[in-house]
Amino acid sequence: MKTSIIQKALGVQWQHLPEALKKHYLENDKGENRAQGHLTIDFPWFMKIPLSILRFFGALINKRGNNLPTNVYRVVSNGEQRWQRRIDFPNNKPVIFNSVVYHNKDNEIIEFINSVLGMKMKVHVENNTLRYESNGYVIKLGKLRIPYPEFLSLGHGCIIEKPVDDNDENSFEMDFRLKHPLFGKVFSYKGVFQTIES
């Protein structure tokens, strides 16, 4: 198994991560990992246009839905972790949401949701859960990474991941929310997934 970017960011906290989450973040010898499950996606009506603009640039998802079949594929190569999320909506083409994750420093990662906009997130283990807390955004221009405050973008991001059951080492649940200081919760998706061993 290769060393995960999340494993690097967590450092000694990695040993406190539940087995179901370790399996989710450990890549096989090819640097790959797969999970499948179902997502529920929600956002307020006034976010439809901003999310549609972001979707045009390959970021996030501009459709709501409940219990949507979702496949997550991740591969690590040359110090970057590429994520592909495929969400199947009823009677529609699947929506693909890609991102790239880097280990930035200490317990901080950066996830770029397109070629320009990235979110810095600090990770830590707390009460048998893995928590991500955003720490501002960055705009990437060539090799430059320009800081961008949360209130001028989508707001504060938080992800919580935890095992579904202590006796199930393959299943986990995740909850991702974006909350803006003025507009409140502007986007969320949550679901239950199972790591597919290969």
- Please give the pLDDT value at position 84: 94
pLDDT in tens, 98-137: 999 999 999 999 999 888 999 999 999 999 999 999 999 9
pLDDT in tens, 11-66: 999 999 999 999 999 887 778 899 999 999 999 999 999 999 999 988 899 999 99
Q: How far is CA 170 from CA 23, 81, 163, in A?
A: 7, 21, 8
If you average pLDDT over residues 145-157, what whole number do you get?
92
Residue 22's CB is within 10 A of a number of other CB atoms, namely 18
Q: How far is CA 150 from CA 99, 155, 182, in A?
A: 19, 5, 11
What's the whole-model pTM score? 0.92
Is the distance from CB of 47 to CB of 81 less than 8 angstroms?
no
HSE, side-chain direction, 13 A CA sphere, residue 191 = 21
Short-list 97, 48, 51, 46, CA closest to 70: 97
pLDDT in tens, 72-102: 999 988 778 999 999 999 988 899 999 999 9
Furthest CA-CA distance within the chain: 46
Is the distance from CB of 61 to CB of 51 less than 8 angstroms?
yes
- Please give the pLDDT value at position 58: 84
Q: Given the structure tokens 């949550």, which residue do they identify?
A: 190
CATH fit for domain 5-196, picks 2.30.30.90, 2.40.10.480, 3.40.50.2300, 2.40.128.20: 2.40.128.20
Spatial neighbors of 75 by CB under 8 A, at least 6 apart, are: 27, 30, 31, 32, 33, 81, 82
- Please give the pLDDT value at position 2: 64
Give me the residue spans of the domains in the chain.
Answer: 5-196
Is the distance from CB of 146 to CB of 137 less than 8 angstroms?
no
- Please give the pLDDT value at position 140: 92
Is the distance from CB of 145 to CB of 138 less than 8 angstroms?
yes
- Please give the pLDDT value at position 185: 96
Using DSSP, state whether 80 is helix, strand or coil. strand
Q: What are phi and psi of 92, to 5 degrees?
A: -135, 165
- Please give the pLDDT value at position 1: 57
